[in-house]
Amino acid sequence: MTTTIPRDKVFFAFGPHLRAIAEIEQGEEVLLQTHDCFEGQIQRPTDLVDSLDWSHVNPATGPLYIKGTKPGDVLRITLLDLEIGSQSSMVTIPGEGALGDLITEMETAILKREGDEVIFKDKIRVPTRPMIGVIGVAPADQEVPTGTPGAHGGNMDCTLITAGNRVYFTVGVEGAMFGAGDLHAAMGDGEIVVCGAETPGSVRFKAEVVDLPGLPTPFVETDDLVATIYSAPSVDEAVNGAIHRMARFLTDFARIPLNDAGMLMSLVGQLKFCQVVDPLKTVRFEFPKSVLAKYGFEMP
């Protein structure tokens, strides 16, 4: 049986004083319905960003109280399935994003979906790669708008956060106060004009506490790799944070000697951008699980 959480209960900041809209059990299958990042305000090309009510941008559905979770626990969110809508939107916002210095005209593009493709301006067919932009838990000590990424997760815009993969967070408050939103039908690494193909959708997942105390979170696991994610005001800091967290994971959890860890990160690791616009920069460092296995380590 799956518990459905409708998209009508949303919040706009992860923080210590949230009130849960529902309680869920660990291991229970939950279907979380989500608005697009504009909460449905953009439906046609004539809906430009100057007509937006910005207080309704980047809604996350939730928060959900996950029973039996307490501060310091490592929470694993297993993403079972993602569904996306029949159309998605993209916008340009003068002055915003990595090309904000050049872009002077607002524009809205509506991308219809046909099967596993979205269609950009009737000519470019792009394979769908559904992903979750905003996902996280409440921090204990501060309020973070859902449009901002951080140690709690939030607006990380990481393309690895998709069906079949697992995302790990460190619980900040009792019940975790989990939420997600901002699905994309597709998005490139970097998120250059501050959007992917923005779509409503739903996320089917289960949440469980796992015995990995001190795991450097946010952390992602796919069938083939693990990744540390780090967000900071500058790309330099974000890169440094993601790299050092992976080194710590490899030495402290996988028990790989530091020099081996460094050389292997240099040999088979991949440093990648998630986004550079949100307003912090988010970077990830990917490392293959096959190498962890050679050192006798497996994710639980």
Contacting residues toward Ca ion, per CB under 5 A: 37, 133, 155, 157, 182
Nearer to Ca ion, 135 or 242 (CB): 135
Dist. CA 97–CA 38, nearest whole Å: 16
In terms of DSSP bridges, do strands 153-155 and 131-136 run parallel, antiparallel, or are they unpaired?
A: antiparallel
Rounded to a whole number of angstroms, the minimum distance from the CB of residue 258 to Ca ion is 35
Nearer to Ca ion, 143 or 260 (CB): 143
Rounded to a whole number of angstroms, the minimum distance from the CB of residue 195 to Ca ion is 5
Dist. CA 138–CA 21, nearest whole Å: 14
Rounded to a whole number of angstroms, the minimum distance from the CB of residue 57 to Ca ion is 9
Nearer to Ca ion, 69 or 275 (CB): 275
Rounded to a whole number of angstroms, the minimum distance from the CB of residue 109 to Ca ion is 14
Nearer to Ca ion, 157 or 208 (CB): 157
Nearer to Ca ion, 37 or 291 (CB): 37
Nearer to Ca ion, 153 or 175 (CB): 153
Would you list the DSSP string of 29-63?
Answer: EEEEEE--TTTT---STT--GGG--GGGSS-EEEE
For residue 233, give the H/E element and its range. Answer: none
* DSSP β-bridge partners for residue 144: 14
Would you list the DSSP string of 152-185?
Answer: TEEE---TT-STT-EEEEE--STT--EEEEEEES
Dist. CA 77–CA 164, nearest whole Å: 10
Q: Which residue is nearest to Ca ion (CB)?
A: 133
Nearer to Ca ion, 97 or 175 (CB): 97
Rounded to a whole number of angstroms, the minimum distance from the CB of residue 197 to Ca ion is 9
Exposure string over 168-194, b if 16+ CB within 10 A, otherwise e: bbbbbbebbbbbbbbbbbbbeebbebb
Of the candidates 251, 91, 25, 66, the residue with the CA atom closest to the CA atom of residue 175: 66
For residues 73 and 217, the answer to whether their CB atoms sit within 8 Å is no
Rounded to a whole number of angstroms, the minimum distance from the CB of residue 146 to Ca ion is 9
Rounded to a whole number of angstroms, the minimum distance from the CB of residue 269 to Ca ion is 25
For residue 241, give the H/E element and its range. Answer: helix 235-248
